[in-house]
């Protein structure tokens, strides 16, 4: 039995836990609309971990050469050549964007909300929602997408799909270097291309980004005084102004709203909305698996 199944099994003997699960399912079932706020903890629960065995399996050569301990910090290393830089990043993008996570977390979540009026606001950039069946028109990736490139300057507000070149980089690289002819450059100014990830003021908010932002605002405008559930999953405190704080504020201003926070490491709620909230300090994937399994009648 794996760890998550062990947690679920032991939880059946915990009346308080089962009551929370029952309340959570009822809130999902009865909600007129659901706004999902997803952070890195949700993808980590799905198996997209950035250290440990997964890092060792894919980056043992970089670990041996540079002493790296995790994917995230290795992405900031000042590589001497673009060939080496893209050898690292092509592998990184390939396994975190173009391969599916090993766990069913996103599919479990979709099975719970697919027939609801839902929207997803996420700081994740791995595309797991869309790959699991979520409607593209109901997603807002605020921080970018591993599958997109942009001009590093940037000289224009446009992004470019990178799947074909990333795949070639992965298959053709040798000795931690990609062929020089695969290094991407801006088609307008010739500057190096960079990942479309929000890390500084050069981040490009392209037409697709603004369209998604507009759909998100339209969704919010439709929810005034409705029975809406704000479902926060795996969100930490790195960027609380994007998901956590707005969810708290919107719950406070709507007496018909309810806020649920599920996060393994950090769960909290202001006193002002405590009666409208449930906080569960457990792995989000474990909870979603419990709900999707329909192991009890609410």
Whether residue 186 sits in one domain with residue 72: yes
How many domains, in total, are found in the chain? 2
pLDDT reported for residue 127? 96
Alpha-carbon distance of 252 to 274, in angstroms, equals 10
16 or 246, which is more confident: 246
Q: Has residue 239 been placed in a domain?
A: yes
Evaluated on CA atoms 44, 45, 47, 52, the torsion sign reads: positive
Last residue of a domain, one of 181, 197, 213: 197
- What pLDDT does 295 receive? 43
Does residue 167 share a domain with residue 279? no
Residues 179 and 249 in one domain: no
Task: Give the contacts of 80 (CB within 8 A, at least 6 positions apart).
Answer: none
Render the burial of 188-214: b for 16+ CB within 10 Å, e for the rest: eeeeebbbbebeeeebbbbeebeebee
> What residues are paired with 140 via a beta bridge?
121
Global confidence as pTM: 0.92
Counting DSSP H helices and E strands in the chain, the numbers are 12, 9
Query: What distance in Å separates the CA atoms of residue 119 and residue 113, rounded to the nearest whole number?
Result: 10
Q: What CATH number did the domain enclosing 27 receive?
A: 3.40.50.1220
Mean pLDDT across the chain: 93
Three-state DSSP class for residue 26? helix
In a domain, 80, yes or no: yes
- Band (118; pLDDT cuts 50, 70, 90): very high
Please indicate, yes or no, whether residues 222 and 150 belong to a single structural domain of this protein: no
Tens digit of each residue's pLDDT (9 = 90 or more) over 191-233: 999 999 999 999 999 999 999 999 999 999 999 899 999 999 9
User: What range defines the domain where residue 92 resides?
Assistant: 53-99+145-197
User: What is the arithmetic mean of pLDDT over 144-170?
Assistant: 98
Residue 6 clears pLDDT 80, i.e. is over it: no
Examine the domain organization and report whether 173 and 283 are in the same domain.
no
One domain for residues 110 and 32:
yes
In a domain, 15, yes or no: yes
Q: What is the mean pLDDT of residues 78-85?
A: 97
Q: What percentage of residues in the chain have a pLDDT greater than 70? A: 94
> Is pLDDT above 50 for 245?
yes
Of 173, 197, 221, the position where a domain reaches its end is 197
Kindly write down the DSSP assignment for every residue of 208-265, as one continuous string. HHHHHHHHHHHHHHTTTTS-EEEEEES--SSSTTTTHHHHHHHHHT-TT-EEEEE-SS
Residue 258 shares a structural domain with residue 152 = no
Mean pLDDT of 49-78: 96
Same domain, 164 and 224: no
Q: Which of 86-95, 159-168, 245-254, 263-272 has the weakest average pLDDT?
A: 263-272
Q: Is residue 13 a part of any domain in this protein? A: yes
Do 160 and 245 lie in a common domain?
no
Whether 262 and 220 map to the same domain: the answer is yes
Judge whether 298 lies within some domain: no
Locate 190 and state its tokens. 């010739």
| Domain harbouring 93, CATH code | 3.30.1600
pLDDT exceeds 90 at position 182:
yes
- Examine the domain organization and report whether 138 and 264 are in the same domain: yes
Residue 43: what pLDDT? 97
Shared-domain flag, residues 109 and 230: yes
82 falls within a domain:
yes
Q: Residue 294's pLDDT is what? A: 63
Least confident of 52-61, 64-73, 289-298: 289-298
Interatomic CA distance for residues 269 and 277, integer angstroms: 7
Q: Is the pLDDT of residue 145 over 90?
A: yes
DSSP bridge partners of 174: 177
């Amino acid at each position: 039995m794996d760890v998550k199944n062990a947690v679920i099994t032991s939880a059946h003997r915990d009346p308080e836990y089962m009551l929370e699960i029952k309340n959570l399912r009822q809130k999902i079932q009865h909600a007129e609309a659901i706004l999902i706020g997803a952070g890195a903890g949700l993808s980590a629960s799905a198996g997209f971990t950035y250290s440990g065995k997964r890092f060792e399996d894919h980056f043992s050569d970089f670990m041996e050469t540079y002493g790296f301990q995790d994917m995230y910090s290795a992405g900031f290393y000042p590589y001497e050549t673009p060939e080496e830089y893209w050898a690292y990043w092509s592998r990184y993008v390939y396994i975190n964007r173009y391969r599916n996570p090993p766990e069913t977390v996103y599919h479990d979540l979709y099975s719970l909300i697919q027939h609801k009026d839902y929207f997803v606001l996420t700081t994740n950039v791995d595309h797991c929602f869309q790959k699991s069946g979520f409607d593209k028109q109901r997603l807002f990736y605020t921080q970018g997408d591993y599958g997109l490139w942009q001009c590093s300057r940037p000289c224009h507000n446009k992004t470019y799909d990178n799947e074909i070149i990333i795949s070639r980089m992965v298959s053709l690289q040798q000795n931690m270097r990609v062929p020089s002819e695969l290094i991407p450059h801006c088609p307008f100014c010739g500057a190096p291309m960079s990942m479309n990830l929000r890390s500084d003021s050069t981040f490009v908010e392209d037409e697709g980004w603004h369209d998604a932002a507009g759909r998100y605002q339209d969704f919010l405008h439709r929810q005034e005084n409705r029975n809406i559930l704000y479902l926060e999953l795996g969100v930490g405190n790195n960027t609380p102004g994007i998901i956590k704080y707005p969810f708290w504020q919107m719950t406070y201003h709507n007496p018909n709203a309810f806020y649920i926070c599920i996060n393994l490491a950090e769960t909290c709620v202001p006193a002002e909305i405590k009666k409208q909230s449930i906080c569960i300090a457990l792995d989000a994937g474990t909870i979603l698996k419990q709900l999707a399994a329909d192991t009890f009648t609410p």
